[in-house]
A and B are shown apart, each in its own frame.
Chain A
Amino acid sequence: DQQVKQNSPSLSVQEGRISILNCDYTNSMFDYFLWYKKYPAEGPTFLISISSIKDKNEDGRFTVFLNKSAKHLSLHIVPSQPGDSAVYFCAASYNTDKLIFGTGTRLQVFP
Chain B
Amino acid sequence: DTGVSQDPRHKITKRGQNVTFRCDPISEHNRLYWYRQTLGQGPEFLTYFQNEAQLEKSRLLSDRFSAERPKGSFSTLEIQRTEQGDSAMYLCASSFDRPDEQFFGPGTRLTVL
Q: Which A residues are closer than 8 A to B by beta carbons?
A: 4, 32, 34, 36, 41-46, 49, 89, 91, 93, 96-104
Cβ–Cβ < 8 Å partners of A4 in chain B: 42
Cβ–Cβ < 8 Å partners of B93 in chain A: 43
Answer whether A104 and B100 are a contact pair too, CB < 8 Å, given A43-B93, A97-B33, A98-B56.
Answer: no
Does B40 sit within 8 A of A, measured CB to CB?
yes
Cβ–Cβ < 8 Å partners of B45 in chain A: 98-100
Task: State whether A46 touches B103 (Cβ < 8 A).
Answer: yes
Task: State whether B43 touches A44 (Cβ < 8 A).
Answer: yes
Does B31 sit within 8 A of A, measured CB to CB?
yes
Cα separation A100 to B43 with both chains bound (whole Å):
8
Min CB gap A61→B, angstroms: 19
Cβ–Cβ < 8 Å partners of B100 in chain A: 32, 34, 49, 93, 99
- Interface size range on B against A: 20 to 34
B29-49 interface mask toward A, CB cutoff 8 Å, 1 = contact, 0 = none? 001010100001111110010
Min CB gap B35→A, angstroms: 8
Cα separation A34 to B58 with both chains bound (whole Å):
20
Contact partner of B101 among A43, A46, A98, CB < 8 A? Answer: A46
Contact partner of B41 among A34, A42, A97, A103, CB < 8 A? Answer: A103
Cβ–Cβ < 8 Å partners of A99 in chain B: 33, 35, 43, 45, 99-100, 102
Pick 12 A–B contacts, CB within 8 A, sort by A: A4-B42, A43-B4, A43-B91, A43-B104, A44-B91, A44-B104, A46-B101, A89-B43, A97-B33, A99-B99, A99-B102, A101-B44
Task: State whether A96 touches B99 (Cβ < 8 A).
Answer: yes
Contact partner of B102 among A42, A46, A103, CB < 8 A? Answer: A46
Task: State whether B56 touches A45 (Cβ < 8 A).
Answer: no
Task: State whether B106 touches A104 (Cβ < 8 A).
Answer: no
